[in-house]
């Protein structure tokens, strides 16, 4: 491994440490507390729920770090909810599980964002959902930020109802409290499973009932598993413990129709070059260019990239590569950054053409993003970079095929749009430790802001000294580079997962397979300028 490779391995160790913190909240003490309640950590239940020897593809593990909420809460480990995709009886299924070790599984704004993002993936890809519900409901000190709005608490149940209406099963396994609005996760499910003396569901818990009506009643008698499965009929399956409940959920989903992907698929073949070479290919400095062809070769089957318009406009057209690859047998169209990745008009035109062609052929698209922006300057403007860039954004927005973005370097300005950033609703958006997502690089932002500050200070008759300029520049670089870092973006759910370079191939294969479960419609684009 060369110095680049060693650098990225070390960066990924930092990712491992953060993930460990996120997935181990409260340490052994918290696990022991669960055990006293007859419970196991939700990840253990998930592993038992999915098919033996299969992998749980866990999403957004570093969400919630450094979110700084009122009451001195800096981190909400893993956003308090575990989300991810695994196979149940051979079918890909979305699993959403409260982690009751994190403030009783209550919903902070970031918890909601993560829960609703998982539902959005499920809806877009046509996945059944299993909810492992154990939550104190809204995090009360932030009720105004989690309760009343679209995208807040009520949206989770709205989504359940609409997905169910589309034929996507919503199954809830309650493993704890589900109070007030949270109770609906049990009652809205297509089928729900409750556990004796562990699951509770009520619109108002015993203290509220006493306050409101004077009635004194235990949680068990008010809304325990026996009440809802034997008396109210609000839940459907009564189980003795968590293991039985997990088996019951698998049984409920046992006769689902087997999924099939809407694509032809070839035999899977590993890359010819070792996938580990990707570490050496990535310059440690994120502004330095990459060899996009070699990166693709390290990811795709047979290391075989069939390039489209390889010789078009050298030095300008080839800052974006277009062509086809196979990922574990699935044919995929690619738009991949190359060299420093600045997008010239020729590259934008080529990319738009390619997106339209892949849409016509119903081939899914991979955007491999390492672009600091579109080319600026009078030559570029006069050549029409604005209109060709917007054509590319239009093509990306309207392409009806599954689209996946993988960020492996700079991800700035309008290049974020043209390369299918979050606002363009890719089916999945992944990043790596080399990703830097921000309106511009720290260096550029510092330059722009410094020139504004200098003018302001001069107008006030207090020009900046060289030392002040330097301090200002450094502060801005730290702020903007910090906000572009994958830890910052991952904690705010601007990515579905920060991948290690070695994980890229397996994750892309899963993501394309899942994205292709729904039939692909016909292409329809708006008004291109050309
Ligand atoms: N809002 C804010 N914080 C909450 C909360 C809520 N809705 N529910 C629980 N918490 C906090 C507790 O204050 C505690 O914080 P701490 O660790 O800093 O002391 C932590 O979460 C763990 O709660 P605890 O009660 O110790 O856990 P438990 O496993 O014994 O009980 C519940 C879990 C969910 C049954 C219980 O916390 C509860 O009934 N919460 C209130 C539920 C409710 O009425 N929600 C209505 C909102 S829609």
Ligand 1: nearest atom to the Cα of 140: 1
Q: What is the CA radius of gyration of the chain?
A: 25
Task: Mark which of 201, 219, 252 sits at the end of a domain.
Answer: 252
DSSP-derived 3-state class of residue 489? helix
Cβ atoms of residues 173 and 134 within 8 Å: no
Q: How many domains does the chain have?
A: 3
Same-domain status, 332 and 216: no
Same-domain status, 94 and 223: yes
Total-model pTM: 0.96
Centroid of chain to Cα 62: 10
Q: Residue ranges of the alpha helices (H) in 330-384?
A: 345-361, 378-383
Does 258 fall in a domain? no
Does 259 fall in a domain? no
Ligand 1: nearest atom to the Cα of 100: 29
DSSP structure string for 248-275? HHHHHTTTSPPP--SS--PPP---SS-T
Task: Mark which of 202, 237, 252 sits at the end of a domain.
Answer: 252
Does 135 fall in a domain? yes
Same-domain status, 141 and 235: yes
Same-domain status, 160 and 240: yes
Does 260 fall in a domain? no
Does 267 fall in a domain? no
Residue owning the nearest CA to atom 32 of ligand 1 = 136
Same-domain status, 509 and 394: yes
Same-domain status, 316 and 225: no
Centroid of chain to Cα 389: 26
Residue owning the nearest CA to atom 3 of ligand 1 = 139
Does 348 fall in a domain? yes
Q: Ligand 1 pocket check: which of 39, 104, 154, 181 to mutate, most ligand atoms within 8 Å of Cβ?
A: 104
Cβ atoms of residues 370 and 498 within 8 Å: no
Rounded-to-integer distance, Cα 267 and Cα 523, Å: 28
Residue owning the nearest CA to atom 21 of ligand 1 = 103
Residue owning the nearest CA to atom 19 of ligand 1 = 103
Does 271 fall in a domain? no
Residue owning the nearest CA to atom 15 of ligand 1 = 103
Same-domain status, 228 and 353: no
Same-domain status, 431 and 444: no
The CA 204 to ligand 1 mean position distance, Å, reads: 14
CATH number, domain at 14? 3.90.226.10
The CA 137 to ligand 1 mean position distance, Å, reads: 8
Residue owning the nearest CA to atom 17 of ligand 1 = 103
Same-domain status, 33 and 181: yes
Looking up tokens 């008004």 gives 527
The CA 408 to ligand 1 mean position distance, Å, reads: 40
pLDDT values of the chain reduced to their tens digit, one per residue, 530 residues: 899 999 999 999 999 999 999 999 999 999 999 999 999 999 999 999 999 999 999 999 999 999 999 989 999 999 999 999 999 999 999 999 999 999 999 999 999 999 999 999 999 999 999 999 999 999 999 999 999 999 999 999 999 999 999 999 999 999 999 988 889 999 999 999 999 999 999 999 999 999 999 999 999 999 999 999 999 999 999 999 999 999 999 999 999 999 999 999 999 999 999 989 999 999 999 999 999 999 999 999 999 999 999 999 999 999 999 999 999 999 999 999 999 999 999 999 999 999 999 999 999 999 999 999 999 999 999 999 999 999 999 999 999 999 999 999 999 999 999 999 999 999 999 999 999 999 988 889 999 999 999 999 999 999 999 999 999 999 999 999 999 999 999 999 999 999 999 999 999 999 999 999 999 999 999 999 98
Same-domain status, 236 and 322: no
Does 463 fall in a domain? yes
Cα three-residue angle 206-212-217, rounded to 5 degrees: 30
Q: Ligand 1 pocket check: which of 26, 27, 105, 136 to mutate, most ligand atoms within 8 Å of Cβ?
A: 136
| Host domain of residue 409 | 277-435+495-515
Same-domain status, 404 and 476: no
The CA 310 to ligand 1 mean position distance, Å, reads: 59
Same-domain status, 51 and 102: yes
For ligand 1, residues with CB inside 6 Å are 100, 103-104, 106, 136-140, 177, 179-182, 205
Rounded-to-integer distance, Cα 280 and Cα 303, Å: 16
CB-based burial, 479-494: b 16+ in 10 Å, e otherwise: ebbebbbbbbbbbbbb
């Amino acid at each position: 491994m060369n110095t680049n490779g060693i650098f990225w391995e070390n960066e990924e160790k930092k990712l491992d440490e953060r993930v460990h913190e996120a997935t181990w909240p409260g340490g052994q003490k918290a696990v022991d507390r669960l055990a006293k309640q007859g419970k196991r950590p939700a990840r253990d239940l998930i592993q038992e729920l999915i098919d033996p020897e299969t992998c749980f593809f866990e999403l957004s593990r570093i969400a919630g770090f450094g979110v700084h909420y009122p009451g001195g809460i800096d981190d909400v480990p893993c956003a308090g909810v575990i989300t991810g995709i695994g196979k149940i009886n051979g079918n890909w299924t979305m699993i959403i599980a409260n982690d009751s070790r994190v403030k009783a599984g209550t919903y902070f704004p970031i918890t909601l964002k993560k829960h609703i993002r998982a539902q959005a993936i499920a809806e877009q890809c046509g996945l059944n959902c299993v909810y492992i519900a154990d939550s104190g409901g809204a995090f009360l000190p932030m009720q105004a930020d989690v309760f009343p709005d679209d995208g807040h608490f009520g949206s989770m149940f709205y989504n359940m109802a609409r997905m169910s209406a589309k034929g996507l099963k919503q199954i809830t396994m309650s493993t704890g409290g589900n109070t007030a609005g949270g109770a609906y996760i049990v009652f809205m499910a297509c089928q729900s499973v409750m556990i004796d003396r562990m699951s509770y569901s009520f619109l108002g818990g015993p203290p509220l009932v006493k306050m409101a009506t004077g009635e004194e009643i235990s949680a068990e008698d008010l809304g325990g598993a026996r009440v809802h499965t034997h008396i109210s009929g609000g839940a459907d399956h009564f189980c003795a413990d968590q293991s039985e409940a997990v088996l019951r959920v698998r049984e409920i989903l046992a006769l689902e129709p087997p999924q099939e992907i809407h694509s032809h698929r070839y035999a899977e073949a590993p890359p010819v070059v070792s996938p580990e070479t990707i570490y050496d290919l990535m310059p440690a400095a994120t502004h330095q260019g990459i060899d996009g062809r070699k990166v693709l070769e390290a990811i795709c089957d047979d290391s075989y990239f069939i390039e489209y318009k390889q010789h078009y406009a050298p030095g300008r057209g080839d800052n974006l590569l277009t062509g086809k690859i196979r990922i574990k047998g699935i044919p995929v169209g690619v738009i991949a950054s190359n060299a420093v990745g600045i997008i010239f008009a020729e590259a934008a035109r080529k990319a738009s053409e390619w997106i339209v062609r892949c849409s016509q052929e119903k081939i899914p698209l991979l955007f491999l993003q390492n672009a600091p922006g579109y080319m600026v300057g009078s030559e570029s403007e006069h050549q029409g970079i604005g209109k060709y860039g917007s054509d590319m954004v239009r093509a990306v927005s309207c392409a009806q095929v599954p689209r996946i973005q993988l960020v492996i370097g700079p991800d700035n300005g309008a290049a974020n749009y043209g390369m299918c950033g979050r606002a363009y609703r890719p089916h999945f958006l992944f990043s790596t430790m080399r990703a830097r997502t921000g309106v511009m690089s720290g260096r550029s932002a510092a330059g722009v802001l410094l020139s504004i500050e200098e003018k302001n200070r001069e107008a006030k008759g207090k020009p900046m000294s060289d030392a002040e300029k330097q301090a200002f520049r450094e502060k801005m670089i730290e702020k903007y580079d910090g906000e572009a870092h994958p830890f910052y973006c991952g904690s705010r759910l601007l990515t579905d997962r920060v991948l290690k370079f070695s994980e890229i191939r397996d994750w892309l294969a899963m993501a394309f397979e899942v994205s292709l479960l729904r039939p692909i419609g016909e292409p329809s684009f708006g008004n291109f300028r050309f």
